[in-house]
Amino acid sequence: MAAATLLTVIAPDPARAEPSPTTGPCQYTPTPDEPAARPVPLPRDPKRTPDRGTVTAVLRTNLGLIPLVLDRAAAPCTVQSFLHLTRHRFYDRTICHRLTAYPTLKVLQCGDPSGTGEGGPGYRYRDELPTDLPPAPTDPTGARRVYARGVLAMANAGPDTNGSQFFLVYGDSALRPNYSIFGRVTSWGLRTLDRVAAGGIAPTAEDPAPVDGAPALRTEIRRATVLG
């Protein structure tokens, strides 16, 4: 009689299981291949994500205050994530790592605790793209839209890859409408933003007069707070 074959069933290791996205409408999805630059849990994802009204937040930088007005109606999941990261002090003691001064792109980019432009919160979520932006007059194809001075929007690495990095527009810019707008910089905040922009971009050995790179004036978010 042939010996029976012994089959061993190995239970999956919960520690190695693929993390699951949240079950609410925002579906914040863990990115284990891109771990958080600073430990932070996934945001809450209620079935009824707040989608009305505004919330004020303040970036307290070494160069001055940058008050922000967050628009829940425009991008409820984005605002929810930004508030979550702010309340967990994810943005505290971080630098704004990128300043651009192209004729059609004038932004300050922040939100990466690693300061490299590669870091994020360890999760991603879907786009909430604007649909009512005017065409950019500098683009005869009509593909680009005006991201106006004062706009607050999410940076990304492609569709539905929003994380923690965001950009502040200090001069009207022409971009494809691929970046979720979730608020605006107040007039007071624009004064600080203009100060950063006026300082220019730090030169490098390869480029003594860059139009894209680290701000010459180191810009540190010492504390980000939610006012209501």
* Calpha distance 56→10 (Å, rounded): 51
Provide the pLDDT for residue 19: 77
pLDDT per position as a tens digit, 32-47:
999 999 999 999 999 9
Domain membership flag for residue 13? no
Provide the pLDDT for residue 5: 37
Provide the pLDDT for residue 136: 98
Query: Which residues have CB under 8 Å from 17's CB, separation 6+?
Result: none
Q: What predicted TM-score, i.e. pTM, was given to this entire model?
A: 0.91
Domain membership flag for residue 193? yes
Helix (H/G/I), strand (E/B), else coil: 58? strand
Provide the pLDDT for residue 12: 47
Domain membership flag for residue 222? yes
Specify the CATH number for the domain of residue 87.
2.40.100.10
Note down the domain range covering 150.
Answer: 26-39+52-226
Domain membership flag for residue 124? yes
Number of structural domains in the chain: 1
Provide the pLDDT for residue 18: 64
Domain membership flag for residue 192? yes
Provide the pLDDT for residue 4: 40
Provide the pLDDT for residue 37: 97
Domain membership flag for residue 120? yes
Provide the pLDDT for residue 55: 98
**Residues in the chain, pLDDT under 70:** 1-18, 228
Domain membership flag for residue 159? yes
Cβ atoms of 201 and 211 within 8 Å: the answer is yes
Q: In what order do the strands lie in the sheet with 54-61?
A: 94-95, 220-226, 54-61, 64-71, 181-185, 151-154, 166-171, 106-110, 98-100, 212-213
Provide the pLDDT for residue 13: 52
Cβ atoms of 106 and 171 within 8 Å: the answer is yes
Domain membership flag for residue 44? no
* Calpha distance 119→221 (Å, rounded): 16
